Structure 1
Amino acid sequence: MENLTQHAFDKVMIIDDNELDLYIGAKLITNNNFSNHILEYNNASAALEYLSENQENADLLPQIIFVDIYMPVMDGFEFLENYKLLSPSLTDHCKIIMVSSTIDDRDIFRAKQDRSISLFAVKPITKSVFDGILAL
Structure 2
Amino acid sequence: MPHNTKSVCIIDDDNMYIHLVSKIIELKKLSEKVIVFNNGKEALDFFIKSIQDTEESSVPQVIFLDLNMPIMDGWEFLEEFTKIKDKISKKIDLYVVSSSIDTRDIDRAKSIRVVSDYLTKPIRLDDFEKILV
TM-score (norm 1): 0.87
The runs of 5 or more residues in structure 2 that have no matched partner are none
After superposition, the C-alpha distances for 1:95-126 in whole angstroms (9 at most, x for unaligned) are 11100011212101111222210011111222
What is the aligned residue count? 131
Kindly report which structure 2 residues correspond to 1:18-57, keeping only aligned pairs within 5 A, or say none: 18-55=14-51, 56-57=54-55
Deviation of the 1:128 alpha carbon: 2.1
* Percent identity of paired positions between Structure 1 and Structure 2: 35
- Where relative contact order (Cα < 8 A, 6+ residues apart) is larger, the structure is 2
Whether the 8 Å contact between 1:29 and 1:35 is mirrored in structure 2 is yes
After superposition, the C-alpha distances for 1:6-65 in whole angstroms (9 at most, x for unaligned) are 112111100001111111111111122211000011111111111110123221110001
Q: Would the alpha carbon gap of residues 23 and 77 (structure 1) be closer, same or farther in structure 2, given more than 3 Å must change? A: same
Partner of 2:68: 70
Partner of 2:99: 101
Structure 1 stretch displaced more, 26-35 or 38-47? 26-35
The runs of 5 or more residues in structure 1 that have no matched partner are none
- CA RMSD in angstroms comes to 1.8
Runs of 4+ residues over 4 Å off in structure 1: none
* One-letter code aligned to 2:111: Q
Q: What is the CA–CA distance in structure 1 between the aligned matches of 2:130 and 2:84, rounded to whole Å?
A: 26
Q: What is the CA–CA distance in structure 2 between the aligned matches of 1:29 and 1:134, rounded to whole Å?
A: 9
Q: 1:120 aligns with which of 110, 118, 132?
A: 118
TM-score (norm 2): 0.89
